[in-house]
Amino acid sequence: MSKYKVLLPKTAFSMKANLREKEPLIQQKWKKADIYEQILLNNAGKKVFVLHDGPPYANGHIHIGHALNKILKDIIVKYKNISGFAAPFVPGWDCHGLPIEYQLFKELNIGKSDISQIEFRKKAAEFAKNFVKIQMKEFMRLGIFADWGKPYLTINKTYEAGILETFAELVEKGYVYRGAKPVYWCCDCETALAEAEVEYHDIPSPSITVLFKSEELENTCAAVWTTTPWTLPANVALAFNKDFLYSVIELERDGKKIRVLALDEKKEEIRAKFNSKDMRIISQARGVKYAGMKFRHPFLERSAVGIVADFVEGGEGTGIVHIAPGHGEDDYRAGLKYNLPVISPVDERGRFTKEAGEFSGQFVLDANEKILDVMRAKGSLLESEQISHSYPHCWRCKKPVIFRATPQWFISIDKNNLRGKLLEEIKGVGWTPPEGENRISAMVEGRPDWCISRQRYWGVPIPVFYCEKCGEHLLDSKVIKKLAALVRAEGSDILLKENLPLEMICEKCGGKKFSLENDILDVWFDSGASNHILEERAGHHWPADLYLEGSDQHRGWFQSSLILSCAAKGAAPYKNIVTHGFVTDGEGRKMSKSQGNVITSQEIIDKSGADILRIWTASQNYAGDLRLSDEILRSCTDYYRKIRNTFRFMLGNLHGWTPDMQTPKNRMTSIDLYILSRMETVKKEAHGDYESYNLAGAFHRLFDFINLDLSSFYLDIIKDRLYTLGENWPERRSSQSALWELLKNLTLLFAPVLAHTSEEVLQTAKEEIDGSLPDSVFLMEIPEEKFVIPEKKAEEWVQLFKIRESVLKAIEKARGDGRIGNALEAGASISGDCGKAIGAFSESELKEIFLISQIGEAAGKEILAERSENGVTVKIYRADGSKCGRCWRITRDNSDGLCGRCGKIEK
């Protein structure tokens, strides 16, 4: 074709992406232009959409989970900003709490006793601020748009003041109280933990059956099963289910008769444990009979009382549960009901106190074996074995935790029917995926009061004072609000200084000297109050339109935010919740350094570019866990290559065209109108996907349009028009006009995902096609629907595509048999139930759509291939005439090697 005048594509948009080099340059332009601020100004006055950012901990570099989370958020925010909304995005960081404190102590290689609280807090603040800068830079490299100049940090003075103001609201409404009840306790970190700070791992654990001798039934012992022998020193009761049937059975052990009380359905298991040949049922009764009955402790000189409790189940164990109110939530509640003593002979390091007698000084989990030895010696241990048991561990140090009763500060979940309000509000929230609603509802229904005190250094001090004369605590919302004003000016460290300018008098004894509470607020209180605090920030509103975090936040940030918002304001702080799963390797295994299967976001960016990582994020079903591997990333690169080449084709074939050459809709060819109508359908569906947060649906829908509708059909059939027609021929200008509409729409529809590449496309188009385009693709708006063909015409296209499929298959058969070299050597005869579809299109349109040279009757011609399906028969024959050396079509009007059409153009 080189000796003829053909119009080949021409553009500066390269085939090779070079994302690693180009993306930083694009980001520099965004930064220089202050693109985020321009977007806000551009969208001023539009409906506001707020995606409230859940703050990550500022304690290290970002990992792939952070990247996934921020990219998902960014895709949604970018989409909203180009689809008729004003969508600000304020990034946040959690700067207090155990994660940061633990990491800093580890780096300093010291303990709490080696440094003062004030000195440590200074170092912690520096540590957190440093990692805020590091993470911010790493997030920006992902192409995230945000108010990076004004993020919200829980360490900021105004934010800390807001935390105290929120606390004051809860105090005013009576939700805050102090109590001694069992909480999760990390013996290594020496602090209470919230449920959200506990994770479960399987560990070897003792499984034992203990005998409690009845003080009222002759020669009878209650068989009790437990996996926590270390809690037995705190035992005060045995729990039965009032409706279950229990039996006293007589067995033989070491030649002696013994009677054992257990759930009736467990009697055979008990007999097997005793290795007794004979068994005789002495009596049977419902569990309620044993309420109030006394049983002797298996190794201490005290009694346990029988009680009834609904949580006693008949699955594992013996149907009788050992109760230690100092070491379990259910036990504690049962203790309140029956006025049982709360015994917790364990110190903050997890060692038994003197109250535990001979076990004093031993770490509780290490004392299990000695407790078993004591019971063996006393004959009260029936059976002992090791099992694999799911056990709570600290989320930071990863060590097993215990339940320990200790004085703590709590938020009551049942005060003012708060629990009922939480459950009611959950029903009014949109949940994606929908099972999130049941998950958080079940958690709220069964959760205990929220323990908000932590025995650590790094956090907002709990604004409670103790009278130095009588020890009475002062919990006063007015005082707390005064403290908040001080903190707003000085920061929370001011609370740790003596002689605060507060006038307080103890109501109990009249004392005037007070000491501040040593504990700090739970870090989940900090982040949970974020939407309430940010409400007054410009561009925000309450409640937020969307929270989007990992599925673990059902028991974390989603719940803490819900509790504080409902308690303080009476409603949920969010309208919608979207959750994503966790990133695993290609085999679905958890990523870990020990397994060597960790892939970092930085590695992906350094090798392939951020847009490849963004494609991976957008193309996955994030509702479950997301797999990531080199192979999966290669498939993402394949997606990218196809999309990029399609953009390159469109840009290249728009060379020499400007918007003032736009063909009016009523003069565009049928094929061009069809593809634009098809684009409108895909756009509408993609809008629906984006709006419902089905990002994978949107991406794959758009990709399929590029791959199937454009590359495999439309772009292929218009090459003849674009390359071989005269530059200003109407048919060529019509196809270019269609390409321009496709380019604008697809650039914007892909922009939320392919942020950098879409920007590159826009800048190339601005340089080569339309200088009036905005300075950034993100200052545009997705065009409204305007190319829709009548329903009748759409139905004709559906039928025509069925016929086209038959034609292509028949041609492929002829090629496979070696009868023709390519489709342009063919002609086709089409007959049967196809009259309306075929008749609706001209001969030239049909030849273009089928990519053949002739169409007509096959009478008298050799049939090279034939295919019949759906009532249509297609016959393929060799086209009559000669091959044009310019357009390669077979025509009957060739002269000097050119068809009549090409001959005119070449003159």
For 404-438, write each residue's pLDDT tens digit. 888 999 999 999 999 999 999 999 999 999 999 99
Question: How confident is the model at residue 593, as a pLDDT?
Answer: 80
Q: Are 852 and 864 in contact (CB under 8 A)?
A: no
The C-alpha atoms of residue 697 and residue 567 are separated, in whole angstroms, by: 38
- Distance CA(303)–CA(297), nearest Å, equals 5
Are the CB atoms for 85 and 49 separated by under 8 Å? yes
Structure tokens at 650: 């469109």
Residue holding tokens 């912690």? 124
Q: What are the φ/ψ torsions at residue 378 (nearest 5 degrees)?
A: -90, -5
DSSP state letters, 463-509: --EEETTT--EE--HHHHHHHHHHHHHH-GGGGGSSS-S-----TTT
Q: Please state the rounded mean pLDDT for residues 82-110.
A: 93
* Tokens encoding 695: 């990002």
**What pLDDT is recorded for position 538?**
72
Q: pTM to 2 decimals?
A: 0.89
For the segment 298-320, what is each residue's pLDDT rounded down to a tens digit? Answer: 999 999 999 999 999 888 889 99
| 327-366 CB burial, b ≥16 within 10 A, e <16 | bbbbbbebbeebebebbbbbeeebbbeeebeebeebebbe
Tell me how far apart the alpha carbons of residues 745 and 680 are, in angstroms, rounded to a whole number.
9
Q: Report the mean per-residue pLDDT for the chain.
A: 93
**pLDDT at residue 526 greater than cutoff 80:** yes
Nearest to 566 by CA among 543, 541, 535: 543
**Model confidence at 26: pLDDT above 80:** yes
List alpha helices for 491-600, DSSP H: 523-528, 530-534, 557-569
> Could you tell me the pLDDT band of residue 835, with boundaries at 50, 70 and 90?
low
Q: Are 470 and 508 in contact (CB under 8 A)?
A: yes
The residue behind tokens 């702080």 is 573
DSSP state at residue 83: T
Q: What is the token pair recorded at 739?
A: 């390409």
Tell me the C-alpha distance between 623 and 161, whole Å. Answer: 36
For residue 846, pLDDT beyond 90? yes
pLDDT band for position 896 (cuts 50, 70, 90):
confident
pLDDT band at 774 (very low <50, low <70, confident <90, very high): very high
Mean pLDDT of 814-836: 88
433 backbone dihedrals φ, ψ, rounded to 5°: -70, 160
Tell me the range of 464-473, 539-548, 763-772 where mean pLDDT is highest: 763-772
Residue 119, pLDDT > 50, answer yes
Q: Is 644 exposed, middle or buried (0-12, 13-18, 19+ CB in 10 A)?
A: buried
Q: How many angstroms separate the CA atoms of 544 and 532, rounded?
A: 10
Based on its alpha-carbon atoms, the radius of gyration of the chain, rounded to whole angstroms, reads 37
Q: What is the distance between the alpha carbons of residues 87 and 690, in angstroms, rounded to a whole number?
A: 14
Q: Is 228 strand, coil or helix?
A: coil
* pLDDT at res. 653: 97
Give 589's DSSP letter: P
Percent of the chain with pLDDT over 70: 100
d(CA 211, CA 235): 13
Query: Residue 274's CB: how many other CB atoms inside 10 A?
Result: 18
| Sign (positive or negative) of CA dihedral 165, 171, 175, 178 | positive
Helices (H) and strands (E) in the chain, counts: 28, 35
**For the chain, what percentages of helix, strand and coil (3-state, to nearest 5) are there?**
45, 20, 35
Q: What would the pLDDT profile of 350-376 be if each residue is shown by its tens digit? A: 999 998 889 999 999 999 999 999 999
Mean pLDDT score, 504-523: 89
DSSP string for 309-347: -TT--SSSS-S-EEE-TTS-HHHHHHHHHHT------B-
pLDDT at 1: 43
Domains contained in the chain, CATH given: 1-33+598-789 (1.10.730.20), 50-65+84-155+413-449+521-582 (3.40.50.620), 195-403 (3.90.740.10), 791-906 (1.10.730.20)
- Nearest-10 crossing angle of helices 117-141, 98-108: 110
* CB 519 within 8 Å of CB 454: yes
pLDDT of res. 2:
56
